[in-house]
Amino acid sequence: MKVSRLENGLTVITNPLYVDYLAVAVSIGDGMLYESKKESSHLLEHMLFEGTKTKRSNEILDRFQDISFGEYNADTKFDTIDIYSLLEKSRADEITSLLADILQNSTFPKDRIEKEREAMRLELNGYRDDVSHITSQALYQKMFGSKDLNQAVELPKDSEISAIDREDLIDNYNRFFRPSNVTIVFYGGITPVNADKLVEKYFKDFNGKFGGIKRLNIPPKYDTKEKNIHEKDLYQPIVAFGIPTIPFNKENRTDRISLSVLSDIIDQRLTKALRTDTGYVYGVNTSVVNYLDFGSLLIDTECSIDNLPKVKDLVHSAIDRIREGEVTKEELFKIIKNSLASYKVKRFIDPITGAVQIADTYSYIRDAGYVESMEKEVDLTIDDLRRVADRYIGSDKMSTVSLLPKDPQLKPFNK
């Protein structure tokens, strides 16, 4: 992996592979936590495909479809906007030219804003009744109770979407779309020298100073009082658990990786306890996420109304055993071995995810040495896991949210 920087501050990262494809990802250090007006970043992301000084919206989409043989798209996250494409390596020049155009020359035509405003409204309303979104929104509010995070997690009202105008988008664009706040990653069949030449060719006139992002204060709330939410279209309970962890920075890499290993261990133990041994659930999902200003360990599963209290008891018990240091060398070795094998496979079969992960990581920490170290193994020990478990894990830190069927005959259970 090679990290370089243009004179204007734009960062280029190349992860060469001996393959015929190329994944290209752009990460802009903007997102739902930092926007000047609610959901303006999301609408801005949509509008990047809707017209530049040289191309109309249909021309932009036609070019993406022609160049990309796989997926091309854009996402707005809590703290980044990502644009990505998968293509033949021979078309690297074309995709770099197209990305340079939308990053430097977007015009935000008013007629397209109205179209995309409606498309975004329909998209977000599709999430409004999504049970996973309802659960995660309630869980994050209990874990952190931060006004800034609540705004990013909560879906906007139609009136808030309608209130976003062209000037809001231009302000957001001018504030964040600056060379030092943009990272471009080439992942696949290209050399660092050729990648650098392409970016220099199309981005040498990219200019403007980025004023930085004001770091938010999102401390953990540790609200352990359970919350029940009743949904009329739900047929069986969904129960989710969340533990606040740590944000993403270069000083806490060992702790973050230890939390990921602990997450895998928890997932395996809960799968055995809740699925294999008892059949209380069909499946369990445990994950760790670390953003720029906060992090969390999340567990979610579905079960019957009768098994809901049993599931809660087993999850609490498994978490507290981890907290007490019940981790073995065999578990650690197995997780690390499987993770290395998974990494070696995924870097070839999921190149877009690899490119976006590298781009977002640099957007968070702005450290070339750290990004280059992502390919290196981390020498974790049992002591690392036990120290991190003692510091972050435990039922006394865990929030719980249950989605229950809205049926008067079904009484919710409380632990």
CA dist 365 and 29 (Å) reads 10
CATH entry, 2-203, from 3.40.50.2300, 3.30.830.10, 3.40.50.620, 1.20.58.760: 3.30.830.10
H-run or E-run covering 238: strand 238-244
Do the bridges between strand 227-231 and strand 399-405 make them parallel or antiparallel, or are there none, so unpaired?
parallel
Q: Where are the domains of the chain?
A: 2-203, 227-405
Residue 121 pLDDT = 86
Residue 157's pLDDT is what? 85
Strands 11-16 vs 182-188: parallel, antiparallel or unpaired: parallel
Helix, strand, or coil (residue 266): helix
% of residues, the chain, pLDDT over 90: 65
**Residue 349 and residue 304: Cα distance in Å, rounded?**
36
Contact between 254 and 265 (Cβ < 8 Å): no
* CB 399 within 8 Å of CB 142: yes
pLDDT tens figures, 164-215: 999 999 999 999 999 999 999 999 999 999 999 999 999 999 999 998 888 8
In this chain, the answer to whether the domains covering 2-203 and 227-405 adopt an identical fold is yes
CATH code: domain 227-405 is: 3.30.830.10
What is the side-by-side order of every strand in the sheet holding 21-28? 2-5, 11-16, 182-188, 21-28, 81-88, 68-76
> In which residue ranges of the chain is pLDDT below 70?
36, 407-415
- CA angle in degrees (0–180, nearest 5) for 3-26-114: 165
Phi, psi of 214 (to 5 degrees): -75, 120
pLDDT tens, residue by residue, 349-375: 889 999 999 999 999 999 988 888 887
Q: What is the pLDDT of residue 414?
A: 44
Short-list 174, 45, 224, CA closest to 120:
45
In the chain, the largest separation of any two C-alpha atoms, in whole Å, equals: 67
As given in the structure block, the two tokens for residue 244 are 């606040």
Give the dihedral of Cα atoms 274, 275, 280, 281; nearest 10 deg: 100
The confidence score (pLDDT) of residue 34 equals: 83
Structure token digits, residue 408: 């008067």
Looking only at the bridges linking them, the beta strands covering 68-76 and 21-28 are unpaired
**How far, in Å, CA of 295 to CA of 318, rounded?**
21
Q: How far apart are CA 399 and CA 316, in angstroms?
A: 11
What was the pLDDT predicted at 409?
Answer: 55
Q: Which helix (H) or strand (E) holds 302?
A: strand 295-302
